[in-house]
Structure 1
Amino acid sequence: MSESEDIATPLHELDSEQVEDRVHDEEDRLRPSFVREVLDAVADGDDEAARALVADLHPADIADLIELAPGDERADLIEALAGVVDADVYAELNDWVREDVIEEMEPQQVADLAAQLDTDDAVAMIEDLDDDDRRAVLRAMEPDDRAAVEEALSYPEESAGRLMQRELCAVPEHWKVGQVIDYLRSTAELPTDFWEVFVVGPTHHPVGTCKLSTILRTPRATLVSDIMAREQTLIPVDMDQEEVALKFQKYALISAAVVDHSDRLVGMITVDDIVHIIQEEAGEDVLLLSGAGEGDINEPIFDTYKARVRWLAANLLTALVATTVISQFESAIERLAILAALMPIVAGVGGNAGTQTLAVTVRAIATNQLTASNHWRAVWREIRVALLNGLTIAVLIGIGVTLVLGSGTLGAVIAAAMMTNILVAGLAGVLVPLGLERAGADPAVASSVFVTMVTDSMGFLVFLGLATVAGF
């Protein structure tokens, strides 16, 4: 069947493989032709056809469809897909897109959606609303749901308290396995998905955990205290989400209990939340490293402008430092124009070397590989790497300049400058983020601006200074 015939054929007449091929491409992205087909059906007023096209899609795919639709067509698309776009779809939406969509809804509609979600997803939906809108939504919620969301909002942003869900399964240690099984079968308020049962003492302090697989394979008369694992990883409510993700990675956790300041069990975090956090934190560090802000293509243009322009302005100021260095050697540059052509090579290679070290250092800090216990060892390592890189590049550039320009002296000058600048770049690439962390700042926040200033200025200073000493 050709692609044109496939698109013209209703989905219910295709087998599962043909449906998948029509909807997704090889990288599991929605095909542009499928997105256009749904939007065309909505534009033609054929809501039934549009709903039929997306009826079998995963909520994450429907969220992708809404995000891929032009901004002025999203409201009509969501209205046409009424009954298909449920709370799970809203939970999967990009933060910026969800905020735009929710702003057009009545507070009661938002409250009804939030009531269908786990607490962590409900908080994610409500927390970015304006203060007035947030209060209106909270007033429209049921008292129990409102109390849970308000408690979560009282914790710092990007903390375990915001991330956790309050729906969990906790049982006393004196229960028998049979009682636990009956409780799991008869209680409707339990979370939809969970992998372990938390065991608590009389004061609701967690004393252990018990995997569901262990419960199901143990005789009913066995005490929970006899089969539970007493060692467990407890997450304080105020722990930063990045640290939470590192604990999940380090200890291979599927879920973990969250405790308040009195060490009482108040919620749990599951690995599906951590996957999002790892992706978010990794992308955030890369974007901060370049000063690009949040870097989301759905972010309002003016917000993106404000995030980027301040670092461009800072970069402009640091560039003036390098310009000042160059101005001190104006006469040498006038005497030998080739110096002006060679200067960018020294600065550019040094900048690349600094960026390499910077990227490795920021990642090591973010993953707790680089701490106060080993930072001097890391500095010494980068010095050795820089010496090896500098020696190799210096020899290559020195030989090249000597052969092309016929000046052994100029070749030696640029080789020495390259060696020095790569060494400085290696030191700057590791010391700048370490210094920012020591000062209590995020080491990823535009460190590259400062590293570039150091490598440019030092490259020009050493190269032009040596050239002047050599008589050029």
Structure 2
Amino acid sequence: MAEQIEELDPAVPSEENAEAYMLDRKAVAAILETVEANDQAHLTQLMEPLHAADIADLLEQIDEDDRAALIRLYGQEFDGEILSELDESIREEVISILTPQVLTQAVRELDSDDVVDLIEDLEDAQQETILDALEETDRVAVEQALNWPEYSAGRLMQREVVMAPEHWTVGQTIDHLRATKEEDLPDQFYHIVMVDPRLHPVGNVTLGKLMRSRRETRLADILEETFQIIPAMRDEGDVAYAFNQYHLISAPVVDEEGRLIGVITIDDAMAVLDEEHEEDILRLAGVGEGSLSDRVAETTKQRLPWLAVNLVTAIAASMVISQFEAAIAQIVALAVLMPIVASM
């Protein structure tokens, strides 16, 4: 009976359900055929239902020539989110293919933290191209973020923060949000950060509680119980651990004087965790600082020193075994142990 319930339980992930979230091979083939036929209208139709992450996966899977042809044909439809989802190993190549007009439009759609993540590993010339595409205020925010050490919370945070004075009510906060220009708010945010007169964060209010509460309710009365402040100099790995440990959705970032300067959201923290897990897997495979999407030639080059060491040790083991040929010939059962000796 328990087995039957387990089979019928929709919460139990199955291989079929997992494949539903993967890029369909037939869809990839259809897209490549459309690119080869140079049919822009049909390509746009095929790409429209795809999430930016799926399009990034598609670009990572196909070869360099197909990638360039697809990007050129897709043209003005290229979204900034695709750039932020791309693996670093091909991001620079994709940016070099995009026209200045498309790149400008794509970059302007991104939050400051995504722009920082996008350009921090690029060449100086490409960095300057992207910075020139930004509005003046956005450019200043990105340049300030780049001044923080790499792999720090200051580099990871986004500078667009929704904050409110600690004495405000729910009604005042909602009116403020409605009066604020759309471009001055983050694309996505989960908390209102309460601050004191010195801009020190004192608590978070979730949007859910904000919308459920009466207008006259003070923000101080509906604060979240879990509240973590992240120093800007903290290592991003520690930040990701804090998000995972305390089940955070977002957390304010402060400077040396404790003043609010940004916020880190869960998507950025989880991206750090993914990167660290990938690095661990690659180290176990002896690939070092490579990427799972690297080409075979690049991966082979990185693994070559380890393969050479393995070859030398295998030869040494063979030489040791050869010293006991007579014993092995007399007692054939010893041959069973040869693979064990060779692998030691």
Q: For the superposition of Structure 1 and Structure 2, which TM-score range results when normalised by the shorter chain?
A: 0.7 to 0.9
The root-mean-square deviation of aligned C-alpha atoms, in Å, is 2.8
Q: 1:59 to 1:334 in 2, by over 3 A?
A: closer
Query: Helix, strand or coil for the counterpart of 1:209?
Result: strand
1:221 and 2:216 are equivalent in the alignment: yes
Q: Are the counterparts in 1 of residues 112 and 141 from structure 2 also a CA contact under 8 Å?
A: yes
* Residues in 2 aligned to 1:107 and 1:153: alpha-carbon distance in whole angstroms: 22
* Residues in 2 aligned to 1:309 and 1:80: alpha-carbon distance in whole angstroms: 38
Query: Helix, strand or coil for the counterpart of 1:129?
Result: coil
Q: Deviations over 1:385-424 (max 9, x none)?
A: xxxxxxxxxxxxxxxxxxxxxxxxxxxxxxxxxxxxxxxx
Q: 1:326 to 1:238 in 2, by over 3 A?
A: farther
Task: Read off the aligned partner of 2:210 and give its amino acid letter.
Answer: I
Q: Are the counterparts in 2 of residues 111 and 138 from structure 1 also a CA contact under 8 Å?
A: no
Query: Helix, strand or coil for the counterpart of 1:88?
Result: helix
1:114 and 2:104 are equivalent in the alignment: no
**Bigger shift: residues 200-209 or 153-162:** 153-162
Residue number in structure 2 paired with 1:207 = 202
1:41 and 2:34 are equivalent in the alignment: yes
* Residues in 1 aligned to 2:239 and 2:201: alpha-carbon distance in whole angstroms: 18
Query: Helix, strand or coil for the counterpart of 1:268?
Result: strand
* Unmatched runs of 5 consecutive residues or more in structure 1: 1-23, 349-455, 457-472
Q: Deviations over 1:277-334 (max 9, x none)?
A: 22222121011122113453542556434422233345456x28x938975x976x24
Shift of 1:251: 0.6
Q: Are the counterparts in 1 of residues 153 and 253 from structure 2 also a CA contact under 8 Å?
A: yes
Shift of 1:140: 4.3
* Residues in 1 aligned to 2:336 and 2:55: alpha-carbon distance in whole angstroms: 54
Q: Are the counterparts in 2 of residues 107 and 133 from structure 1 also a CA contact under 8 Å?
A: no
1:72-87 equivalences under 5 Å are 72-87=65-80
Query: Helix, strand or coil for the counterpart of 1:262?
Result: coil
Task: Read off the aligned partner of 2:196 and give its amino acid letter.
Answer: G
Query: Helix, strand or coil for the counterpart of 1:239?
Result: coil
Shift of 1:83: 3.6
Q: 1:203 to 1:242 in 2, by over 3 A?
A: same
Residue number in structure 2 paired with 1:184 = 177
* Residues in 1 aligned to 2:318 and 2:26: alpha-carbon distance in whole angstroms: 56
Shift of 1:200: 0.9
Q: 1:153 to 1:109 in 2, by over 3 A?
A: farther
Residue number in structure 2 paired with 1:123 = 116
Q: Deviations over 1:205-262 (max 9, x none)?
A: 1111111222222222232233324762112223222222211111111111122222
Q: Are the counterparts in 2 of residues 108 and 137 from structure 1 also a CA contact under 8 Å?
A: no
* Residues in 2 aligned to 1:109 and 1:85: alpha-carbon distance in whole angstroms: 7
Query: Helix, strand or coil for the counterpart of 1:257?
Result: strand
Q: Deviations over 1:27-76 (max 9, x none)?
A: 43222222222222222222111111222222222223333332102222
Query: Helix, strand or coil for the counterpart of 1:336?
Result: helix
Residue number in structure 1 paired with 2:230 = 235
* Residues in 2 aligned to 1:83 and 1:165: alpha-carbon distance in whole angstroms: 26
Q: 1:186 to 1:245 in 2, by over 3 A?
A: same
1:92 and 2:80 are equivalent in the alignment: no
1:168 and 2:183 are equivalent in the alignment: no
Q: 1:56 aligns with which of 39, 46, 49?
A: 49
* Residues in 1 aligned to 2:255 and 2:111: alpha-carbon distance in whole angstroms: 19
Shift of 1:340: 6.0
**Bigger shift: residues 222-231 or 69-78:** 222-231
Q: Report the structure number with the largest CA radius of gyration.
A: 1
Residue number in structure 2 paired with 1:69 = 62
* Residues in 2 aligned to 1:301 and 1:341: alpha-carbon distance in whole angstroms: 35
* Residues in 2 aligned to 1:106 and 1:48: alpha-carbon distance in whole angstroms: 19
Q: 1:261 to 1:310 in 2, by over 3 A?
A: farther
* Residues in 1 aligned to 2:29 and 2:322: alpha-carbon distance in whole angstroms: 60
Q: Are the counterparts in 1 of residues 112 and 142 from structure 2 also a CA contact under 8 Å?
A: yes
Query: Helix, strand or coil for the counterpart of 1:81?
Result: helix
Comparing both structures, which one devotes a greater share of its residues to helix?
A: 1
Residue number in structure 2 paired with 1:135 = 128
1:289 and 2:288 are equivalent in the alignment: no
Query: Helix, strand or coil for the counterpart of 1:171?
Result: strand
1:362-441 equivalences under 5 Å are none
Q: Are the counterparts in 1 of residues 282 and 291 from structure 2 also a CA contact under 8 Å?
A: no
* Residues in 1 aligned to 2:289 and 2:23: alpha-carbon distance in whole angstroms: 24
Moved over 6 A (4+): none
* Residues in 1 aligned to 2:130 and 2:187: alpha-carbon distance in whole angstroms: 24
Total equivalences in the alignment: 322
Q: Deviations over 1:65-111 (max 9, x none)?
A: 33333210222212222343211222222222222110234566534
* Residues in 2 aligned to 1:50 and 1:325: alpha-carbon distance in whole angstroms: 57
User: Normalised by the size of structure 2, how large is the TM-score?
Assistant: 0.82
Q: 1:256 aligns with which of 251, 258, 268?
A: 251
**Bigger shift: residues 91-100 or 101-110:** 101-110
* Residues in 1 aligned to 2:187 and 2:39: alpha-carbon distance in whole angstroms: 34
Identity of aligned residues (%): 43
* Residues in 1 aligned to 2:91 and 2:81: alpha-carbon distance in whole angstroms: 12
* Unmatched runs of 5 consecutive residues or more in structure 2: 1-16
